[in-house]
Amino acid sequence: MISTTLPWLTETSSDRISAIRDTSLSKLVRDDMLALILKGVFAPGQRINEPDVASRLQVSRVPVREALRELESSGLVISRKHSGVFVRQLEAAEVKDLYQMRGLLDGFAGRRSAALPERERGLLLAKLERAIKAMQQAFDDHDVQAYYSENLHFHWAIVEAAGNQQLLETYRGIVQKLHLSRLKNLSQDVGMRSSVSEHQDIMQAVQDADGARCEALMSQHVGEAFERLLQALSAPSDQN
């Protein structure tokens, strides 16, 4: 089971209680299954058994079916006639397309965030600095999962700071699908040293309020991250 903490899966107990008051049962079931998929409990290619989910959550199969339809519309599961519902396994072409889209969105968010007023930019910089320190520690500890988690938090902070709700939702959907392609590879070092340096350059561009540079660095960073991932996946493995 993957221990990586995703930025949107860190609600407090009070947040959960408040959400329950205003959320339909099917959405609560969806959120539960989404968390299990993104944590790797439901692995890519694995069949999701409706009766088991309903029994575990003590609900009928109706909200489970509704939840699975929502997850299918978001591209995280796929329904196969006469076979059931399975966690999606992304093809290489789709992963490439998603990285390209993520690069565009990251670039836009970087430009917007670097143009924030000084006070808001200062709050963002504090978050980015904490994330970079945590990434550096993860690199020193050779902890790939911790590094990956902090990397997500770094980018998520910039996307949130951009102040565009549609961007936020689209970005989350893209990263969630890309996460499916990473679940089997979170033990591989995909260039943490280079990545730390790139994040430091991005933070400097935000600090300098240089929107154009931040946009270019964010987009380039995502492209290079994709190339590093391809190299890691194509490299011969020493493990059998």
Query: Where are the domains positioned within the chain?
Result: 7-87, 92-234
Please tell me the predicted confidence (pLDDT) of residue 235: 62
Report the pLDDT value the prediction gives residue 12, as an integer from 0 to 100. Answer: 43
What CATH number matches the domain at 92-234, 1.10.275.30, 1.20.120.530, 3.40.50.300, 1.10.1040.10?
1.20.120.530
d(CA 85, CA 104): 31
Q: How many other C-beta atoms are found inside a 10 Å radius of the C-beta of residue 184?
A: 15
Statement: 7-87 belongs to CATH 3.10.200.10? no
Written as one letter, the residue type at 40 is: G
Average pLDDT, 10 consecutive residues per value, the chain (240 residues): 55 48 78 89 92 93 94 94 92 93 98 97 97 94 88 96 95 92 70 90 98 98 89 59
Backbone angles phi, psi at 221, to 5 degrees: -60, -45
- Tell me, yes or no, if the pTM score tops 0.85: no
Query: What's the CA dihedral at 232, 199, 2, 101 to 10 degrees?
Result: -70
Which among 79, 83, 67 is positioned nearest to 34, based on CA atoms? 67
Q: Determine the pLDDT at residue 184.
A: 67
- Read off the tokens for 51: 């009766």
**What is the C-alpha radius of gyration for the chain, rounded to an integer number of angstroms?**
19
